[in-house]
Structure 1
Amino acid sequence: MSTATSSPAAAESPAAKLNKMAESLGAIARPLIKAITFLLPIMISMTGKAYKIYKTLPHNVVKFWVGFIFCFFGGLYPVTFAAIQAAEHGGRKKVAEALTDLSDEAIKILEASKKDDKEDLDKDGKADVEEIDGKALMMRKVQLVLTKMDPEKVDKAIASMYRVWLSVVAVLTLQFARVITLSLSISDFFFTPYDKYIVPVINKVMPQQYQKWTPVVGGWVIKFFAMSLAWYIQSIISAFTSALSGGLMMSRAAYDFIVARGWTLGGMIAKNHEESVIDEIMSYLFAAGGFLFQFWIGFDMPFPFNLLLWPLELTEFYIRWTITKKA
């Protein structure tokens, strides 16, 4: 006669696991909801104010600063800037409308949540949300979102943004196809000597049952190295080209500013930039300064600015991963 024993973890039902997961989420629900309620309105308000300031700026000022960003930072975030340019031609207006709709829905839900936080149905002088545990609070807020949200409006906004994203990814995949090809060529070049000379050496000290992992893990490392090297080379190319285009934007904006002020600098400044070489000379100087600056910082945002610009860093990494993951 044999007896079967099972551990508590093995005997745990799916319902019990889901209940534990809900309890874990409930533990962080209260601070998470407070953080979202506090930060999201600030972010939406700051974005709206920044856009209003942008709309009031003169065209030359906007053009100069856009050129400055491309000239001095184009090689640091080449894919992100390329995505912005692709979105400009492939649906920037649709994305702006979708973000406006989503922010309106978010504000509406946050206002309803603030009212819910003050609700005291039992009239005991204490808000109802303070008298329930984290799990119940999470369920209460989920129900509030489901009842206050306009699902068709949100679905339309997300679908619109996703369509633009797919078009941007398609453009970037074609634009940076040479990076993928270069990385595959580099990995193939290094994998042959690795497999022939290094794998046998590693297998001499590797237990036999793990030797099958040696070429696989090595292949992952080589592909990561090849992809990093290929993107570094692309960063240099992007830094050079963006420095040229950004420098030209800066020089043309500065030239138009000088003409608008009526400054002739002793007859050197013509009313039409096509009749002068001053703007070309300035563009070369700006481009040289922009490329040398990017070369000096190693085509990577230095500390602590990389911490301040972490959204750009994360966006750049995600888009690179998206367009190269199929390789």
Structure 2
Amino acid sequence: MADKKDTTTEQPKIDIDISKVAETLQKIGKPLLAFISTVLPVIITSSQKAYAFYHKLPHNVVQIAIGLVFCFFGGLYPALFAAIQAAKLGGISTVRDALKDLANEAMIVLEESKKDDNVDADGDGVADVNQIDSKALLLRKANLVMTKINPKKVDTALAAISKVWLSVISVLTVQFARTIALSVSISESMKKVVNRYITPTIQSATPTEYQRWVPVVVGWICKSIGISLAWYIQAVISAVTTALEGGKIAAYAILKFFKDKDMNPGGFIPDDLDETYLDEGIAYVLAVGGVYFQFKLGFDMPFPFNILLFPFEFAETYIRWSITSMASGDNWA
């Protein structure tokens, strides 16, 4: 009888929690839609302008920039840079076209949403969207998306991105196999200790209806710590290798830039760049500077640059988690 009583008392609590979540979602519905409508066009337009500016730059300038980025930031975003390199072989142009199609569809929906915001069907001088609650507004906007978007184009774009993403993940899984194995080993060792000495204490202090979540959350935490430690070691290794590679790219591009501009400071640049060790000397200097710079940062982007570069931070974290989970199995945490 006691078990039956506990079950009946737990259900109302869960229903209340779900109702609270639904109420919260309804409250933030309007502000969230307003935020998306304001920010998304800015992101799309800025990305298009940045891409157009990138293509207008001289080839040597682009190579210098790429080399310096690899040299000074390769250890901060090893998985992201490796993914970009793999995507170049796996069809990055396909992804670019797919993103362009998705951006165009998003802009169409946003323009239609702006028109919808001004609709006053009853002619009372107040826009219809300002006379309905958040739930009705969400349904109205969802219907607008479903009717204005091109489903075939969106499906084709998402399929293309997924195909390239799977090929990239496959390459990265092999490339970072040792890092993945190390992260799994750290996580499993830590989880055994935590489950023996800490998890029972946490469960005893947790309400009965939420105790089943304790092992899952503990597994996530152990997995996160294992991934962080293993990838920190990988960041140190990547910092050295990418600094050397980036230094060579930047050094050669710098000499090529001066040569194309008929500039030869001190007369050190020969006519044939393949017959000089000057580029290697510059490359090693840049590499040492790049490794030292990343070491001083602790292989982590400091504030406030981590906020400005949040998309890169998020992408790096997501890629690390994805390839580790895929290679080791979803149930290892």
| TM-score bin (small chain) | 0.7 to 0.9
Gaps of 5+ in 1: none
- Residue of structure 2 in register with 1:94 after alignment: 94
Evaluate the alpha carbon distance shift between residue 33 and residue 240 of structure 1 in structure 2; reply closer, same or farther with a 3 A threshold.
same
Question: 1:167, 1:118 → 2: CA distance?
Answer: 45
8 Å CA contact 2:227–2:320 kept in 1: the answer is: no
**Deviation (angstroms), 1:133:** 1.2
- Residue of structure 1 in register with 2:126 after alignment: 126
Evaluate the alpha carbon distance shift between residue 229 and residue 105 of structure 1 in structure 2; reply closer, same or farther with a 3 A threshold.
same
**Deviation (angstroms), 1:187:** 5.8
- Residue of structure 2 in register with 1:110 after alignment: 110
Letter in 2 for 1:52: A
Question: 2:219, 2:108 → 1: CA distance?
Answer: 50
Alignment of 1:33-44 (within 5 A): 33-44=33-44
- The two structures, once aligned, show a CA RMSD in angstroms of 3.5
Question: 1:71, 1:50 → 2: CA distance?
Answer: 22
Question: 1:142, 1:215 → 2: CA distance?
Answer: 37
TM-score under structure 2 normalisation?
0.83
Structure 1 residues 137-186: Cα deviation after superposition (integer angstroms, max 9, x where no partner): 11111111111011001011011101111111101000000112233455
Residue 247 (str. 1) matches residue 252 (str. 2): no
**Deviation (angstroms), 1:226:** 4.2
**Deviation (angstroms), 1:10:** 3.6
Structure 1 residues 89-128: Cα deviation after superposition (integer angstroms, max 9, x where no partner): 1111011101110111111111111111111111111111
Question: 1:29, 1:235 → 2: CA distance?
Answer: 40
- Residue of structure 2 in register with 1:289 after alignment: 289
Letter in 2 for 1:175: Q
8 Å CA contact 1:22–1:135 kept in 2: the answer is: no
**Deviation (angstroms), 1:283:** 0.7
**Deviation (angstroms), 1:222:** 6.2
- Residue of structure 2 in register with 1:178 after alignment: 178
Bigger mean CA offset, 256-265 vs 168-177: 256-265
Residue 313 (str. 1) matches residue 313 (str. 2): yes
- Residue of structure 2 in register with 1:236 after alignment: 236
Bigger mean CA offset, 183-192 vs 35-44: 183-192
Question: 1:216, 1:135 → 2: CA distance?
Answer: 33
Letter in 2 for 1:26: Q
Evaluate the alpha carbon distance shift between residue 216 and residue 118 of structure 1 in structure 2; reply closer, same or farther with a 3 A threshold.
closer
Gaps of 5+ in 2: 206-211, 329-333
**Deviation (angstroms), 1:240:** 0.2
Number of matched pairs: 315
Letter in 1 for 2:182: L
8 Å CA contact 2:187–2:222 kept in 1: the answer is: yes
**Deviation (angstroms), 1:56:** 0.6
- Residue of structure 1 in register with 2:278 after alignment: 278
Question: 1:209, 1:132 → 2: CA distance?
Answer: 46
Evaluate the alpha carbon distance shift between residue 216 and residue 108 of structure 1 in structure 2; reply closer, same or farther with a 3 A threshold.
closer
8 Å CA contact 1:26–1:137 kept in 2: the answer is: no
Evaluate the alpha carbon distance shift between residue 208 and residue 254 of structure 1 in structure 2; reply closer, same or farther with a 3 A threshold.
closer
8 Å CA contact 2:76–2:239 kept in 1: the answer is: yes
Secondary structure of 1:325's match?
helix
Evaluate the alpha carbon distance shift between residue 191 and residue 40 of structure 1 in structure 2; reply closer, same or farther with a 3 A threshold.
closer
- Residue of structure 1 in register with 2:151 after alignment: 151
- Residue of structure 1 in register with 2:30 after alignment: 30
Question: 2:112, 2:293 → 1: CA distance?
Answer: 49
- Residue of structure 2 in register with 1:298 after alignment: 298
Question: 2:130, 2:289 → 1: CA distance?
Answer: 58
Secondary structure of 1:299's match?
coil
Letter in 1 for 2:41: P
**Deviation (angstroms), 1:242:** 0.3
Question: 2:286, 2:248 → 1: CA distance?
Answer: 8
8 Å CA contact 1:26–1:136 kept in 2: the answer is: no
Evaluate the alpha carbon distance shift between residue 317 and residue 259 of structure 1 in structure 2; reply closer, same or farther with a 3 A threshold.
same
Question: 2:203, 2:99 → 1: CA distance?
Answer: 56
**Deviation (angstroms), 1:232:** 1.5
Question: 2:44, 2:90 → 1: CA distance?
Answer: 24
Letter in 2 for 1:141: K
Letter in 1 for 2:96: A
Question: 1:178, 1:29 → 2: CA distance?
Answer: 44
Evaluate the alpha carbon distance shift between residue 91 and residue 206 of structure 1 in structure 2; reply closer, same or farther with a 3 A threshold.
closer
8 Å CA contact 2:82–2:172 kept in 1: the answer is: yes
Question: 1:207, 1:23 → 2: CA distance?
Answer: 30
8 Å CA contact 1:190–1:222 kept in 2: the answer is: yes
Question: 2:202, 2:138 → 1: CA distance?
Answer: 49
